Amino acid sequence: MSHQELADTGRGAAGGASAVPELGCGVAHSIAGQGWCVTPGFLASAEVEALAAEARVLDAEGGFRPAGVGRGQGLALRPEVRGDRIAWIDPNTTGPALRDYLARLEGLRESLNRDLYLGLFDFEGHLALYSPGGFYRRHLDQFRGAERRILSCILYLNVGWEPGDGGELRLYTDPAEPGRCEAIAPLGGTLVTFLSARFEHEVLSARRERLSLTGWFRRRA
Binding residue (CB under 6 A) for ligand OGA from 118, 128, 150, 155: 128
> CB atoms < 10 A from the CB of 176, how many?
5
Shortest spacing between CB 15 and ligand OGA, in angstroms: 29
String marking each residue 159-178 x if it binds ligand OGA according to CB under 6 A: ----------x---------
- Choose from ligand OGA, Mn ion, none: what does 169 bind? Cβ within 5-8 Å by kind: ligand OGA
Q: CA-CA distance, 91 to 78, in Å (whole number)?
A: 28
- For residue 135, state whether it binds ligand OGA (rule: CB under 6 A): no
- Choose from Mn ion, ligand OGA, none: what does 212 bind? Cβ within 5-8 Å by kind: ligand OGA
- For residue 193, state whether it binds ligand OGA (rule: CB under 6 A): no
Binding residue (CB under 6 A) for ligand OGA from 31, 36, 134, 141: 141
Nearest to 217 by CA among 169, 149, 130: 149
The answer for residues whose C-beta is within 8 angstroms of residue 31's C-beta and 6 or more apart is 37, 112, 116, 151, 193, 194, 195
Q: Judged by CB, which is closer to ligand OGA: 120, or 128?
A: 128
Write the burial class of residue 16 (CB in 10 Å: 0-12 exposed, 13-18 middle, 19+ buried): exposed
Shortest spacing between CB 57 and Mn ion, in angstroms: 25
Which residue type sits at 184?
Answer: I
Question: With contact defined as beta carbons under 8 Å apart, do 150 and 109 qualify?
Answer: no
**Which positions lie near ligand OGA, rule CB under 6 A?**
128, 136, 141, 154, 169, 186, 201, 203, 212, 214
